Amino acid sequence: MYLDRWKETLDLIREKFEIEDEGVLELDEYGGTKIEYIIFEGPLGKMKMEFISKPKVLDKHTNYSNRIGSDVQIDYVYSETEKSTQLLISRWSDADENWTPMDSANFQF
């Protein structure tokens, strides 16, 4: 899903459903990850949608030594311009009191 389509989906959710929580998390890990989320009461119950945007991994460098007991260090090279995006959809389970992931491929946006 692209950013434009995500914005359109957010607008539709805001129009049709009651919003419980909404926000943006910015993490320094993995080259600067941005997570936009919205929690709302949908037709299937309480639902959460997360749009994750992070820099594309260009290269991976492994630093190691052949000595016994030495550590392995992995350094990633991230793109300055290209982003990788992911949409996660979860439904709240009262029985487990936890978010249960749903397959976003089954949804039509």
Residue 109 pLDDT: 56
Residue 104's pLDDT is: 65
State residue 41's pLDDT score.
92
Q: What is the C-alpha to C-alpha distance for residues 58 and 38, in angstroms, rounded to an integer?
A: 30
pTM exceeds 0.85, yes or no: no
Confidence (pLDDT) at 34: 92
Instruction: Classify the C-alpha dihedral 30-36-41-44 as positive or negative.
Output: negative
Residue 75's pLDDT is 86
Show pLDDT as tens, one digit a residue, over the chain (109 residues): 678 888 999 999 999 999 999 999 998 877 789 999 999 998 888 999 999 999 888 898 888 777 777 788 888 888 888 888 888 999 998 888 899 898 766 666 5
Q: What pLDDT score does 106 carry?
A: 65
> Which phi and psi angles does 7 have, rounded to 5°?
-60, -40
Q: What is the CA radius of gyration of the chain?
A: 18
Residue 75: name the closest of 64, 58, 63 by CA.
63
